[in-house]
Amino acid sequence: MSKNHDTKETSSDLFDAFTEIALRYPERPALFHHGHAVSYRQLRAWAGTLATRLGTRPGVVAVQAAHTPETVVGLLGVLAAGGVYCPVDPAFPLQRRQEMLAAVDCRAMVTAEPETASPLGPVCVALEPLVESVANTARLPVPPAGHIEVGPDEPAYILFTSGSTGRPKPVVTPRRAISATVHSLRELFELTPEDRVLQFASLNWDTCFEEILPTLTTGATLVLDAEAHAGSFPRFLRMVERERITVLDLPTAFWHELVLHLAEDRLALPSCVRLLVIGGEAASPARLADWSGLDTGRIRLLNTYGCTETTLITHAVDLHGPRVPSPGARWDAGARAPIGRALPHVVQRISEQGELLIGGPALALGYLGLPQATEARFPVLDGTRCFRTGDRVSSAPDGVLTHQGRLDHEIKVRGIRVDPAEVEAHIATHPEVTAVAVAGATVAGRSTLVAYVVPRPHTTVGTLDADVLSYLRERVPGHLVPSRITVVPRLELTASGKVDRTASHQRHAAHPQAKGDLR
């Protein structure tokens, strides 16, 4: 497939961009993992070896995704082969993983531990350890880019979002979308080869690509460190300082907790940090006020917004730090934080109802195997294909958008979009449950799911809540498991006889912890 050389900067394939950087900076560290550096030359060779093993155009390739260099190699190797990367969290219940792989017709799985993957079905492709792989290739020059011609409309990766049926809903993202977005993000983050970017996000959602791909197409270093996930802020902060991290990309909910910790101890972040990216849910004005009261003026605090279907980030804005109009000003604890303005590659429109619609090269191809759902969420308006985000926004004169709520019933849990109908569908399959309503609530300042279940007649109610919880934990990932299940005699219905989630929650949220704002 030919490339349009006039727009090479934005349309250059992501793997080619990585290879060009590997040729330019072969000896710079691409990855840094617990004291061990992997150079760009080594990483390119390692990914190339995997691509050769996979063969040309291997289709959908599952990768057991964990915070290791091997996962990054898996991603790059699949892209190099012209395949479709599909991360699978080894911590997910087996049944869920099997459903995910079946939904995308996956035939091959890359794993460093083939024995753990065997019950999943696909053929395992062993990823040889770095030492072995590099011993054979370290002296070879980096192979030139573009050895496999893969078109920009071909799929690059598949990720899963929440669907109302209870089945995983696969979103297919083309190579064009990831290339265009990563190009914008390199500029947004002002990345240079001197940067050291922490790999923090789960490898199973798209936020990790914000960390990995701009870094590896700039010549900067991606740092992987188990201390990032220890759950202890003193240890997290020491690791940031020790590893001289310059860029952090944190889920907003985690940042909220970090700010509470810093504010209580009157600390600041280590001075090496120059950019802190947040995203996933609304930034709390109270935490912003706390943050702006700390010694944080030199750090860019960048709020971001985007959907899986529109590839990583579509909107961003500096909330605090050197790029805001009045640096040093304290944040007003009553002022809602904006989600930002459209990045250069993004086409946006706002409907009469205030819904944000996204067009342009970053659009996903759609939901695999679900043509009706694809048509509903990706309409063609005035000849332009768009994605309906379901988010209501208002726009300021300078083009900065502020989120004003959802147009549907989706809920954000730990920054992940959840359709309560999906959780209801799973709970409804429990043999002792006749009806169920799932709603969003705020518990201890955190968005969470609560479920109300009506037992079958003559069921022993005593342990039903705990039974349903363990039943769910065997079947679905943690973000779909409600933090509270309450057994109730009946649910509230709407005038048309459907379960009214809001009214059911309000009626039965008698427990003090279950009270809170419905979202």
Q: Which residues bind other proteins (CB under 8 A)?
A: 229-235, 253-254, 257, 260-261, 264-265, 414, 443-444, 446, 448, 466, 483-484, 512-514
H-helix or E-strand containing 438?
Answer: strand 433-443
CB of 503 to other proteins, least distance (A): 21
Work out the angle at residue 314's Cα, subtended by the Cα atoms of residues 310 and 320, and round it to the nearest 5 degrees: 150
**What stretches of 65-117 show up as alpha helix (H) in DSSP?**
69-81, 94-103, 114-117
CB of 232 to other proteins, least distance (A): 5
Whichever of 215 and 448 has its CB closer to other proteins, that residue is: 448
CB of 446 to other proteins, least distance (A): 6
Per DSSP, the residues of 399-422 read: S-EEEEEESSS-EEETTEEE-HHH
CB of 331 to other proteins, least distance (A): 21
Whichever of 341 and 417 has its CB closer to other proteins, that residue is: 417
CB of 280 to other proteins, least distance (A): 12
Whichever of 147 and 446 has its CB closer to other proteins, that residue is: 446
Cα separation, 64 vs 71, in Å, equals: 7
Q: Do the strands 347-350 and 355-359 form a parallel or antiparallel pair, or are they unpaired?
A: antiparallel
Local structure of 24: helix, strand or coil = helix
Beta strands in 325-431 (DSSP E): 341-342, 347-350, 355-359, 366-367, 380-381, 384-385, 387-395, 401-406, 411-413, 416-418
DSSP 457: T
One-letter identity of residue 313 = I
Whichever of 127 and 488 has its CB closer to other proteins, that residue is: 488
Q: Which two tokens stand for residue 98?
A: 């099997």
Burial class (CB in 10 A: 0-12, 13-18, 19+), 510: exposed
DSSP 72: H
Burial class (CB in 10 A: 0-12, 13-18, 19+), 119: exposed
Residue given tokens 């947040």 in the structure block: 278
Whichever of 434 and 483 has its CB closer to other proteins, that residue is: 483
Going 149 to 152 to 153 to 158, the CA torsion angle's sign is positive
Whichever of 231 and 383 has its CB closer to other proteins, that residue is: 231
Whichever of 475 and 479 has its CB closer to other proteins, that residue is: 479
Whichever of 248 and 514 has its CB closer to other proteins, that residue is: 514
Whichever of 188 and 253 has its CB closer to other proteins, that residue is: 253
CB of 269 to other proteins, least distance (A): 15
CB of 230 to other proteins, least distance (A): 4
CB of 413 to other proteins, least distance (A): 9
Whichever of 290 and 309 has its CB closer to other proteins, that residue is: 290
CB of 513 to other proteins, least distance (A): 5
Beta strands in 112-193 (DSSP E): 123-126, 155-161, 169-174
H-helix or E-strand containing 62?
Answer: strand 60-64
CB of 486 to other proteins, least distance (A): 11
514, HSE (Cβ side, Cα atoms, 13 Å)? 20
